[in-house]
Amino acid sequence: MKKIVFYKTAAGKCPVQEYLDKLSDKQVMKITWVLKLIREINPVPTNYFKKLVNTDDIWEARVDAGRDTFRLLGFFDGRELVVLTNSFQKKTQKTPPNEIKLAERRKKEYLARK
């Protein structure tokens, strides 16, 4: 079973948790359900979790909650630990490049501090 953690900045802030705190209970419940799938199922269906091409090994958790679409980006630290770096509401077909760059930057910071 995989373990999922949220990235923390050097100052101790947790951007993913801060984002989730702003959502409705129903939205958070759906996101939690998808994260549980990612943690427990192997392999995870690609409509919930997939590796993004042309990135530094960044993965995308995909959550559809009613009319809202959420994405949580992160990476693997080893084989079983998923570190989620950032989250956002998706409004276009493509994942915003600035969100991918942010995930890659946080991955580098995380690995450098490890």
CA–CA dist 32, 38 (Å, integer): 10
Q: What is the mean pLDDT of the chain?
A: 96
Environment class of 74 (CB within 10 Å of its CB; exposed 0-12, middle 13-18, buried 19+): buried
Q: Which two tokens stand for residue 93?
A: 């077909």
At 3-40, the pLDDT tens digits run 999 999 999 999 999 999 999 999 999 999 999 999 99
pTM for the model stands at 0.95
Q: What is the CATH number of domain 3-113?
A: 3.30.2310
Q: What are the structural domain ranges in the chain?
A: 3-113
Q: Which two tokens stand for residue 30?
A: 């759906």
Residue 92 has pLDDT above 90, yes or no: no
* Residue 4, helix vs strand vs coil: strand
Q: Hey, how many other C-beta atoms are within 10 angstroms of the C-beta on 100?
A: 19
